[in-house]
Structure 1
Amino acid sequence: MLEKGLTLIDIGIIKSFQAFVMMATDIPLGYFADRKSYKISIILAAAFAVTWLFFISISTSFYGFLLAELFNALSLTLIAGAYNALLVQYAKTKITSPKKVLGSSSQYNYIGMFVFSLIGAYFADYSSQYIWYISAFLMLMTTIFSLFFLDDLKGEKEEKSAFFYF
């Protein structure tokens, strides 16, 4: 953002906007994930991440970056609860410990961050612009993969009493 002419104050405002959007949408998007579908929430999060990465790569103005961070905030909020909840449900279906599944997920996430940070640093020497395009493409592949291969596991539904049933 700095190399595209934004000041540190501009970036601070943009990131504050992102935090506000995350705070304002946390409960409604968490409710959507819990009531509707963890899978859809994760797919939407990946799609919003693609949009964020694309807008970050092409933006040249304050408002372009503000729009990009709106999509980033929605992506981060959608994935926040849905991903771990889906892993816990996966552990229940495989009759294994949720701690083991969550631990394995964290381990692979950190390994992935390590490897792809090194790859990103390599590409940054040539052009930082390409990093955003490559990241958007990889996230698009993640979105497509999620459409076909991610199970939509849900927790056991509680029986509602007739008094509270709508």
Structure 2
Amino acid sequence: MKRNLKLMYLIAFLQGLVFYGPVSLIYRTQRGLSISEFFFLEFILLFIIVLTEIPWGYFADKYGYKKTLTISYIIFFLARFSLLFCNTFMGFLFQTILTAIGVSGTSGCDIAFLYKSCNSEESEKVFGRYRAFNSLAFFISSITSFFFINISIESAIVATVVACGLSIITICFTKDVEIEISNNKNESIIKDSFKNIKNVKLMFIFVISTAIISEISYGISVNLGQLHFESIGVDIRFLGYITALSELLAMLSFKTHVISKKFGQVKTLKTMVSMMLLCVLILVFTKNIFISIIAVCSLSGLISMISPIVLDIKNKSISKNRATILSVYSMIGSLFSAFINIVIGFCADIYLKYAFLACFIIMAIGVFGVYLYMKKDRIYKKNVEDLG
């Protein structure tokens, strides 16, 4: 199974080679999309993910994780390739639909595949490495994007498509893993799965809260950050270097398990989400390039660092139908994220500062949810121990 892990790390690296990433929003606006249309497409993307998450999860639990990932990577490849030909809203809509189907197919399935390919006690370390390899690739592609963008943004997309195609080849060399499945009929599989989750309502609070934090961090680091830097006078050709610095910090997720082991998951997670909220607050008021870079890069690094902890908590709550339940978690998160994008897009079209203010308020709700989960979970575990 170590071979599986190495190949999945390679796939994470290849999937992270997004050479057009630092100017992805600017590329779309140059081709006629407005900011509100872009965020509306983000809403559509997440809405489709919501609709397809559970069917994909069920498919993965029935037919295998490897087959599901292979199909998903092929669809994702087609989505990246189609981006070259998008010139209208309808073209970008088609590309968004393909992306959503590909993303929902891999979502949960790749994590379940990793979890079953390693010792459960090492899962946090494995998730950290998986994220770190993805960040390393995005770091490299962000630096080299300067050279591609100097030629054309289209050349950066072509290089991304090639890397995406290589990930399809790589997944073919993995070995499928054993799947824990329910003996119940198909229609009761989800209901049966959630019977095996400890304190379901509390887990949903955690899933929703971390999804909110993740979506706001992504929205700022990848999308609003581009507009912010452009508005304060940064040349778009140099956005790649800022993104590279963000991903350099994101690679610290490789060592999240060390910090978590030393200070504990609770203290580590609480501290990091609080720091992320502070970064968003800074971006509401600052127009200083140096401070903006620190805030955006820190936000990107911190969301990557909490990812292994979040994934570990989610996986340890599941005993059966892992891909299905992880897909449900993702679906719930995507549902909230979809509406967040509508709010942010509307605010950004009025005034960019309003968008950052909305991000701060929404993330504050997410941070409160994480604190609430940690408090209630500690009480729940204590009660279980007392009963035992």
* Shorter-chain TM band: 0.7 to 0.9
CA contact (8 A) 1:38 1:154 kept: no
Q: CA deviation at 1:157?
A: 4.8
CA contact (8 A) 2:64 2:179 kept: no
Name the amino acid aligned to 2:35: L
Name the amino acid aligned to 1:127: S
Matched with 1:103 is 128
Q: CA deviation at 1:56?
A: 0.9
Runs of 4 or more above 4 Å deviation: none
* Equivalent residue pairs, number: 159
Q: CA deviation at 1:154?
A: 2.4
Matched with 2:253 is none
Aligned counterparts of 1:61 and 1:153: Cα–Cα separation in 2: 42
Task: Report matched runs for 1:75-114 at 5 Å.
Answer: 75-92=102-119, 97-114=122-139
- Stretch moving more, 95-104 or 45-54: 95-104
Q: Percent identity?
A: 21
Aligned counterparts of 2:95 and 2:86: Cα–Cα separation in 1: 8
Q: CA deviation at 1:53?
A: 0.8
Aligned counterparts of 2:39 and 2:93: Cα–Cα separation in 1: 11
Among 148, 153, 166, which residue is 2:177 paired with?
Answer: 153
Instruction: Report which of the two structures shows the higher radius of gyration computed on alpha carbons.
Output: 2
Does residue 2 (structure 1) correspond to residue 24 (structure 2)? The answer is: no
Aligned counterparts of 2:36 and 2:46: Cα–Cα separation in 1: 15
Name the amino acid aligned to 1:26: E
Aligned counterparts of 1:77 and 1:88: Cα–Cα separation in 2: 18
CA contact (8 A) 1:53 1:135 kept: yes
Task: Indicate how the Cα distance of structure 1 residues 135 and 80 shifts in structure 2: closer, same or farther if over 3 A, else same.
Answer: same
CA contact (8 A) 2:61 2:181 kept: no
Task: Indicate how the Cα distance of structure 1 residues 29 and 165 shifts in structure 2: closer, same or farther if over 3 A, else same.
Answer: closer
Matched with 2:324 is none
Does residue 31 (structure 1) correspond to residue 58 (structure 2)? The answer is: yes
Name the amino acid aligned to 2:175: D
Does residue 118 (structure 1) correspond to residue 149 (structure 2)? The answer is: no
CA contact (8 A) 2:80 2:157 kept: yes
Task: List gaps (5 residues or longer) in structure 1.
Answer: none
Aligned counterparts of 2:104 and 2:110: Cα–Cα separation in 1: 11
Name the amino acid aligned to 1:20: F
Per the normalisation by structure 2, the TM-score is 0.39
User: What's the RMSD between the two structures over aligned residues?
Assistant: 2.0
Matched with 2:41 is 14
Task: List gaps (5 residues or longer) in structure 2.
Answer: 1-27, 187-388
Cα deviations by residue, 1:77-109 (Å, 9 ceiling, x for unpaired): 1111111101111104xx862222222212222
Matched with 1:41 is 68
Q: CA deviation at 1:121?
A: 3.2
Aligned counterparts of 1:131 and 1:141: Cα–Cα separation in 2: 16
